[in-house]
């Protein structure tokens, strides 16, 4: 199998728009939701989100198209990741793109409804985030857009891995991008799935999720290509497993049969056993059904060892970034393995006794971490698990 390594990281997030600021924010549990300024509280009385504090402003691409927030974030994060990986302009003609987004340029469509903007016809399709990013950064390799709701970022990274393994590209920029959407907030409000206070996965008093926004991008590269150019390696992605609940449009399958299947497929592809996993970033949305179903599934797969897993509930710090969530989790897992530190879960006061996970709070925990698990789930029953390895462990 053609090994795939991570050689560059880039992030735009509510807690920082560089890797070091992002990492410091995770260690400090710094994320705090605030009222989103461009929303009518008469329609949605819970308008708190983890939003990026910058004005809404029109941005025009080289092709003359308006860029929604998702594309703005994607271009910035991808530029950082390419610079981090030291991929120069001359090498970009063969670099591919795989981007996950749930809502695409929904903000531009909302501006049209408000009478404050006039989006192009392309802005109505989620694929424009990937194509716009490729155009802006002159990336001429394979270009893929994934919109499997809140699992999209994980799927895009998996597709990036498979593209390299198949020999269709040596280097891929893969990840997810999401700009805040009033449409998504309104839908979750109607579902009764918004916490009006803070995102608190696995806490007994959680009342739903809280949205975030931003972009997380990884430069993926064949191990051989990385060796030839003496690239710095954060880690590798050794296993990806997919499944679909085929159960309900929004609710997870309570028994966790298919989420467990995705996890086991990822372990099998990585040629690992559950006992080999040292830490995990669960999907952990803060919604009642998802947290209980996921923790029960993890207990089923890992048995008693689930209590030894070092678990970090990422959304407790940056909120639920929708189609970018799985990419944020993969980027964070790469940092955890590279630095040997697991950040503390924020906003956890009393753990729900139905959620059989050992989550630490307060301070980071250091350790010898070799393999990490990432889960990402979505409406439509879309499930994905990924296994990441510390650099040079195989």
User: Could you give the residue numbers annotated as active site?
Assistant: 150, 283, 320
Structure tokens at 235: 């880690």
CA 97 to chain centroid, in Å, comes to: 16
Cα 393 from Cα 180, distance rounded (Å):
38
Place of tokens 């880039």: 10
| Residue of 43, 154, 61, 173 whose CA lies nearest to 108 | 61
Cα 149 from Cα 131, distance rounded (Å):
19
Phi-psi region of 175 (alpha: psi -120 to 50; beta: other; left: phi over 0): left
DSSP-assigned states of every residue in 25-83: HHHHT----EE-SSS-TTT-S--EEB---S-----B-TTS-B--HHHHHHHHHHHHHHH
| Residue of 243, 213, 236 whose CA lies nearest to 324 | 213
| Sheet of 235-244, strand order | 143-146, 96-100, 171-178, 214-222, 4-12, 235-244, 382-390, 371-378, 279-281, 310-311
Phi-psi region of 357 (alpha: psi -120 to 50; beta: other; left: phi over 0): beta
Cα 262 from Cα 108, distance rounded (Å):
35
Cα 200 from Cα 348, distance rounded (Å):
6
In angstroms, how far apart are the furthest CA atoms of the chain? 58
Tell me, what DSSP letter sits at residue 314?
T
| Residue length of the chain | 394
| Residue of 220, 226, 127, 141 whose CA lies nearest to 173 | 220
SS (H, E, C) 84-127: HCCCCHHHHHHCEEEEECCCCCHHHHHHHHHCCCCCCHHHHCCC
Are the C-beta atoms of 179 and 69 separated by less than 8 Å? yes
């Amino acid at each position: 199998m053609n090994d795939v390594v991570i050689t560059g990281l880039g992030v735009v997030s509510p807690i920082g728009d560089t890797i070091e600021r992002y990492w410091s924010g995770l260690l400090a549990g710094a994320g705090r939701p605030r009222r989103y300024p461009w929303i009518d509280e008469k329609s949605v009385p819970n308008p708190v989100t983890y939003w990026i504090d910058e004005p809404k402003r029109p941005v025009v691409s080289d092709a003359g198209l308006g860029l929604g927030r998702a594309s703005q974030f994607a271009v910035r994060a991808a530029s950082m990741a390419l610079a981090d990986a030291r991929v120069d302009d001359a090498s970009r003609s063969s670099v591919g793109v795989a981007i996950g987004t749930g809502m695409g340029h929904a903000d531009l469509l909302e501006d049209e409804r408000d009478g404050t903007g006039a989006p192009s016809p392309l802005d109505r399709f989620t694929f424009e985030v990937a194509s716009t990013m490729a155009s802006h950064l002159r990336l001429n390799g394979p270009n893929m857009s994934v919109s499997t709701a809140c699992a999209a970022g994980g799927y895009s990274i998996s597709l990036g891995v498979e593209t390299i393994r198949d020999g269709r590209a040596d280097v891929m920029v893969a990840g997810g991008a999401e700009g805040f959407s009033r449409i998504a907030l309104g839908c979750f409000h109607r579902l009764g799935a918004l916490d009006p206070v803070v995102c608190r996965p696995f806490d007994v008093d959680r009342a739903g999720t809280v949205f975030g926004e931003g972009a997380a991008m990884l430069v993926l590269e064949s191990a051989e290509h990385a060796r030839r150019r003496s690239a710095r390696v954060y880690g590798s992605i050794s296993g990806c497993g997919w499944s679909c609940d085929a159960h309900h449009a929004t609710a997870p399958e309570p028994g966790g049969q298919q989420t467990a299947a995705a996890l086991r497929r990822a372990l099998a592809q990585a040629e690992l056993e559950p006992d080999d996993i040292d830490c995990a970033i669960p999907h952990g949305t803060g919604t009642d059904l998802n947290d209980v179903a996921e923790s029960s599934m993890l207990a089923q797969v890992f048995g008693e060892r689930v209590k030894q897993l070092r678990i970090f509930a990422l959304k407790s710090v940056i909120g639920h970034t929708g189609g970018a969530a799985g990419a944020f989790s993969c980027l964070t897992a790469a940092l955890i393995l590279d630095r040997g530190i697991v950040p503390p879960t924020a906003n956890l006061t009393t753990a729900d006794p139905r959620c059989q996970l050992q989550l630490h709070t307060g301070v980071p925990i250091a350790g010898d971490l070799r393999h990490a698990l990432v889960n990402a789930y979505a409406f439509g029953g879309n499930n994905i698990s990924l296994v990441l390895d510390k650099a040079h462990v195989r």
